[in-house]
Amino acid sequence: MKTYTLPQALYLYVFVLLGLSSCKEDSPPPIERPIPTVILSEVPYNTLSAYGLFDEDSLSNMYPNARVFPYTLNTALFTDYAYKSRFIYLPEETSIVYRSLEALDFPVGTILVKNFYYYQDERRPDLGKQLIETRLLVHKENGWEAYPYKWNSTQTDADYWPEGKRLDASWIDQAGSLQTISYQIPKRSECQNCHTLSNSMSPIGPSSRNLNMDYSDGGETYNQLTKMETMGWLSNLPPIESIEKAANWEDTTQSLEARARAYLDINCGHCHRPNGPAHDSGLFLYHQENDRYNLGICQVSIPAVSGSGGYLYDIVRGNPESSFLVHRMESNDEALKMPEIGRSVVHKEGVALIAEWIRSMKPNDCP
């Protein structure tokens, strides 16, 4: 089996600082690591360790093996305040093809990995974390397939768990307060609720605009897409300055409009788009939408037409309190809340951002 030389291994592992920047104690030792052998016809494996994506001696640390690339996003989906680490496994002799709007074009055999976890104490990441689940998107010959894995109580491995499960999780937040949550691992069948594009499963996060970001290594700054191209992982990359860059919704130095649109795109736009599962709503919140009515501004909300809730419009300019979009983001009612899955609590900061964006619009009565 082919292995990377020590310089090549170091060259790959520098990316762990990118994917696990908030827990630098997890940086892997500089040793050679094997290339995973994944037989697509045998996937899903019963355990996460069987894929060989990470160092088997300390699986919970997520030290990536060769051909496993850690990455981050400018703006990420909210999931009950969970932290996430993301990786791409790319088979040998393959590469990713650049696409300008949708997720990059990943070859057959690619595995996208997303780990969900909570720190014991957000003020002290060194005290450890609790891994809850790992979700895999595997690109098979007939398309993408989703496989959820639940971590065991000893944090030594994660088991394939297609039926879903609700788990209790707790942590100390940045303010020193104890937070508890009933975390929902989705059923495998529920993954298509978000990951369907034009009636086929598709990745959501790793688009060029969301991957177009800088990070520092040894005093030098690199662009994430450029680095992937340099590694031979990414082809057809245009000049980096011509590629759009998604806003970081938490970065208040960026425009309110850009931050709000980036938040809605990643949290809502995968469904609310012409070729998404919520296309019948006519409310399109994906990045490419420029029509203000389609974005919900003075658009009559479908539930309001049937007399539900008394909210007439998705967005009322200058008035988030009367906007059905904000009401649904604030709700935990299973029949009303948005997003429909992926959260059991309200994302207060996300609601505040969208409310601020709506409040900033010039007030004007809807017809």
**64 secondary structure, DSSP code:** B
Residue with tokens 């191209």: 229
Residue 353 has pLDDT above 50, yes or no: yes
Same domain? For 20 and 119 the reply is yes
Q: How far apart are CA 357 and CA 352, in angstroms?
A: 9
Answer with the residue of higher pLDDT: 323 or 27: 323
The answer, yes or no, to whether residue 306 has pLDDT greater than 90, is no
Residue 251 lies in a domain: no
DSSP secondary-structure letter at 75?
S
Q: How confident is the model at residue 27 (pLDDT cuts 50, 70, 90)?
A: low
Q: Which residues of 210-241 are buried (b: 16+ CB within 10 A; e: fewer)?
A: bbbbebeeeeeebbbbbbbbeeebbeebeeee
Q: What is the pLDDT of residue 23?
A: 39
- Residue 286 included in any domain: yes
More confident residue, 188 or 128: 128
Total domain count, the chain:
2
Q: How many residues does the chain have?
A: 367
Residue 1 lies in a domain: no
Alpha-carbon distance values, 348 to 17, 78, 204, 228 (Å): 29, 11, 23, 35
The reply to whether 249 falls in a domain is no
| 234 and 268 housed in the same domain | no
Question: Which of 80-89, 323-332, 335-344 is the least confident region?
Answer: 335-344
Domain stops at, among 242, 267, 300: 242
Q: Return d(Cα 109, Cα 54) in angstroms, integer.
A: 17
Co-location of 154 and 94 in the same domain: yes
Q: Could you tell me which residues are beta bridge partners of residue 73?
A: none
Between 288 and 217, the more confident residue is 288
pLDDT score at 14: 41
Return the pLDDT at 31. 63
Of 242, 274, 294, the one marking the end of a domain is: 242
Range of the domain at 271: 256-359
CA 247 to the chain's CA centroid: 14
pTM for this structure? 0.88
Q: How far apart are CA 221 and CA 254, in angstroms?
A: 20
- 196 with 236, same domain: the answer is yes
On whether residue 366 sits in a domain, the answer given is: no
User: What is the pLDDT, as a whole number, of residue 303?
Assistant: 61
- Give the contacts of 242 (CB within 8 A, at least 6 positions apart): none
Decide which of 194, 220, 242 is a domain's last residue.
Answer: 242
Above 50 in pLDDT, residue 236?
A: yes
**Which tops the pLDDT comparison, 366 or 348?**
348
pLDDT at 276: 87
For residue 57, being part of any structural domain is answered with yes
**Does the residue 367 lie in any domain?**
no
What is the secondary structure of 106-124 as a DSSP string?
PPTT-EEEEEEEEESBTT-
Mean pLDDT of the chain: 87
More confident residue, 23 or 117: 117
Residues 132-186 pLDDT 10s: 999 999 999 999 999 999 999 999 999 999 998 999 999 999 999 999 999 999 8
Instruction: State the CB neighbour count (10 A cutoff) for residue 155.
Output: 16
Mean pLDDT of 350-367: 90
DSSP code of residue 22: T
Q: What is the pLDDT averaged over residues 250-260?
A: 97
Q: 150 and 232: one domain?
A: yes
pLDDT (tens digit per residue) in 53-105: 999 888 999 999 999 999 999 999 999 999 999 999 999 999 999 999 899 99
- Asked whether the beta carbons of 313 and 366 are under 8 A apart, the reply is yes
User: What value does the mean pLDDT take over residues 317-339?
Assistant: 91
> Is the pLDDT score of 340 beyond 90?
no
Cα separation values, 208 from 30, 52, 234, Å: 29, 27, 11
Residues 136 and 270 occupy one common structural domain: no
In this structure, are strands 214-217 and 220-223 parallel, antiparallel, or unpaired?
A: antiparallel
Q: Is residue 32 part of a domain?
A: yes
Statement: residue 2 has pLDDT above 60: no
Which of residues 22 and 104 earns the better pLDDT score? 104
Q: What pLDDT, on a 0 to 100 scale, did the predictor assign at position 111?
A: 98
121 and 180 assigned to the same domain: yes
Distance CA 85, CA 26 (A): 12
| Half-sphere CA count of 233, side-chain side, radius 13 A | 20
Both structure tokens of 44: 């899903």
Cis peptide before 125 (omega within 30 of 0): no
Kindly write down the DSSP assignment for every residue of 241-253, as one continuous string: GGS-----TT-TT
pLDDT at res. 218:
60
Q: Measured between alpha carbons, how far is residue 24 from residues 16, 61, 159 in Å?
A: 9, 11, 26
Output the six-digit token pair for 75.
Answer: 């703006």
Same domain (yes/no): 123, 199: yes
Provide the angle, in degrees to the nearest 10, between the axes of the packed helices 348-359 and 256-267. Answer: 130
The predicted structure's pLDDT at residue 1: 36
Q: What is the mean pLDDT of residues 256-274?
A: 95
Pick the range with the lowest mean pLDDT from 13-27, 51-65, 70-84, 309-323.
13-27
Q: In which band, very low, low, confident or very high, does the pLDDT at 215 lie, cut at 50, 70 and 90?
A: confident
CA distance 225 to 237: 8
Average pLDDT over residues 108-136: 97
Tokens (6 digits) for 194: 């978000």
236 shares its domain with 265: no
64 and 205 in a single domain? The answer is: yes
Q: Are residues 268 and 138 in the same domain?
A: no
**Do the beta carbons of residue 206 and residue 101 sit within 8 Å?**
no
Q: 261 and 231, same structural domain?
A: no
Calculate the alpha carbon distances from 274 to 139, 143, 169, 277, 291 in Å.
Answer: 24, 21, 36, 8, 13
